Amino acid sequence: YQVSPTPITNLTTGIWTDFSGLNFNAIVTGGIAGALDGNLPANQRRVSASLPVTLPANSYIMLRWTDADDQGADHGLALDDLLVSRNFPPQAAADAYSTAEDTPLTVAAPGVLANDTDPESGPLTAVLASQAAHGAVVLNAAGSFTYTPDANWHGTDSFTYTASDGNFSSAAATVTLTVSAVNDAPNAWADAYPVQEDQTLTQAEPGILGNDSDPDGDGITADLVSGPAHGTLTLNADSSFTYVPDANWNGTDSFAYRAFDGGLYSSAATVTLTVSPVNDAPTGQADAYSTDEDLPLQVAPPGVLGNDSDLENDPLTAAVASDPAHGTLTLSADGSFT
């Protein structure tokens, strides 16, 4: 574009002695009008200002200088240097960085501004234009930034920013962030199963792994950590298992295992086994007594029950299973008999 030296009115050669009375304005011709006004402080010889307009082709700037009191007084002004400069917006270039899954990325200054330029070589600042979709970006004015990807996420993410020279901003530039996958440990969760005393508990595949998972979708197997205290466990590779409680035992038993994805183990998970009681038959022991011929035999309680027992310690009663062949028996429930 061109700078026009005319029209400049009310000026003569010589030295301007009262600069406080000088006003200036710039008018863009060629179809776009814009004005910039200001005062030149006293005893100064230079003034600068910016005109934030876009100049069309074949246009020019006309500077018009007038007296502040606008009374047409004849003042002297020496114009020995008139510079009109144009500010161009900076250029921001795309960037690319990488980090591992679950690992924050920290980039020092100049960061995203390192490959950006400004035609006037002025200092640049970075301004975040849009956030990343799968993480959080903290972008500093100096171009440094920190990117924290979402937990257990991997793939390609991005954010955009603009570079500013204080007057103009660049078009938005894209920063591509590649988050590489890492193997995450599987998750094993507690299980609970009931079984009756003296019965066998059998769980088919997937067994104890039915409620477990792997963040990466890898296949998992069960690894026994500790066995039960009151029974026998058979844990198969497909996580199905068989548990046989000890004979006549009831209560709470347990075993622990880990899930394994081929590279990492989960924390140990506990499988609780509740063995409910059942009524066990009492145990009767043989007895022996003697008496003389023609003399009745009388035995007081507990009588025949004296050496008998019950696992649950339930009270026992006696009942005749078969009568004697050569006498008459009267058996009471408390074990006494005649």
Q: Do domains 95-180 and 191-276 have the same CATH topology?
A: yes
Distances (CA, A) of 215 to 99, 129, 151, 194: 19, 32, 10, 30
Q: Torsions phi, psi of 113, nearest 5?
A: -85, -5
Overall average pLDDT of the 312-332 stretch? 93
Residue given tokens 């998750």 in the structure block: 187
Mean per-residue pLDDT for 115-137?
95
Instruction: Find, among 271, 273, 220, 279, the residue nearest to 248 by Cα.
Output: 279
With a cut of 80, say whether residue 49 has pLDDT above it.
no
Q: What is the mean pLDDT of residues 13-38?
A: 36
292-315: per-residue pLDDT in tens? 999 999 999 999 999 999 888 889
Residues 6+ apart with CB under 8 A from 209: 188, 220, 221, 222, 239, 259
What pLDDT score was predicted for residue 119?
A: 85
pLDDT attached to residue 87: 61
How far is it, in rounded angstroms, from Cα 115 to Cα 260? 46
Please report which confidence band the pLDDT of residue 89 belongs to, taking 50, 70 and 90 as the band edges.
Answer: confident
Per domain, the residue ranges of the chain are 2-76, 95-180, 191-276, 282-338
Reading the block at residue 152, the tokens are: 């257990």
Distances (CA, A) of 32 to 37, 54, 167: 17, 8, 20
| Tokens standing for residue 50 | 């910016």
Answer left, alpha or beta for residue 304, where phi above 0 means left and psi between -120 and 50 means alpha.
alpha
Chain centroid offset of residue 38 CA = 55
Mean pLDDT of the chain: 81
The highest-level CATH class for domain 95-180 is mainly beta
pLDDT one-digit tens code per residue, 203-256 = 999 999 999 999 989 999 999 999 999 999 999 988 999 999 999 999 999 999
Q: Contact at 8 Å (CB) between 211 and 186?
A: no
Instruction: Report the C-alpha gap between 194 and 300 in whole angstroms.
Output: 44
Residue partners of 306: CB distance under 8 A and separation at least 6: 287, 335
Model confidence band, residue 131 (pLDDT cutoffs 50, 70, 90) = very high
- In this prediction, residue 86 has a pLDDT band, given cuts at 50, 70 and 90, of low
CATH code that applies to domain 191-276: 2.60.40.10
Neighbours of 273 (CB within 10 A): 21
| End-to-end C-alpha distance for the chain, whole angstroms | 138
Say whether 19 sits in a helix, a strand or coil: helix
Percent of residues, the chain, with pLDDT higher than 90: 66
Question: How far apart are alpha carbons 15 and 17 in whole angstroms?
Answer: 6
**pLDDT at residue number 333:** 94
